[in-house]
Amino acid sequence: MENSSRRKFVKDITAMAAVGALSCLKTARPAEKGSTEALVAPCGLYCGACPMYLATRDNDQQRIDAMLKQFGARDMKLSLADVQCDGCIAGGRVASFCRKCAMRECAESKPDVTRCSDCSDFPCSKVTNFNNDGMLHHAEVLENCRRLRQAGIKQWAKLEAEKWSCPKCKANIGWYDASCAKCGAPRSDRLFPLKKA
């Protein structure tokens, strides 16, 4: 009985020490996995509207196949793992497009910086160039980071989750969805306009 109690004590102390050590690592993020805050990328994008995140979360094989076909048409050889994502800093899979993100790597290298909005160097050339690269969803990151600074992570993440919801049925809308995949309602006017094809 005494050896059993001693083993349990040592096991409990070891577990507490491991948890304490892990909490000091830079890769540990302030938001819990699965929380809305964990879907706010370092650059200021809301991962909750990313087609790769939505397809992964919903296990939507049709949408995953469509992305593989779309990017394959551009002579990109992507695997299933390349288009599956749990969010840039959510602690799981990360899509190939975001794995080597300069802003993500920069934030990870700086103490007390999770997102560009936390950084004293904001706006730097990394995030400014990303904002101005011609991608519609990227063109929001500078303003997103400014609003994130003003509102704080919890409030801003909540507002983004609401913003990227269908105005009719409240299902998630992706960055480039013209209408809700669930009910067919048109995209909200509060989202960036899609270019005409």
- Model confidence over 48-74: pLDDT tens digits? 999 999 999 999 999 999 888 888 777
Which pLDDT score is estimated for 104? 93
In a domain, 191, yes or no: no
Domain count, the chain: 1
Nearest residue to 164 via CA among 148, 152, 176, 146: 176
The answer to the question of residue 173 being in a domain is no
**Is 188 contained in some domain?**
no
Does the residue 96 lie in any domain?
yes
pLDDT, tens only, 113-140: 999 999 999 999 999 999 999 999 999 9
Is residue 150 situated within a structural domain? yes
Residue 90 within any structural domain of the chain: yes
User: In this structure, is residue 20 part of a structural domain?
Assistant: yes
Entry pTM: 0.78
Domain range holding 147? 2-163
Mean pLDDT to the nearest integer, 4-24: 41
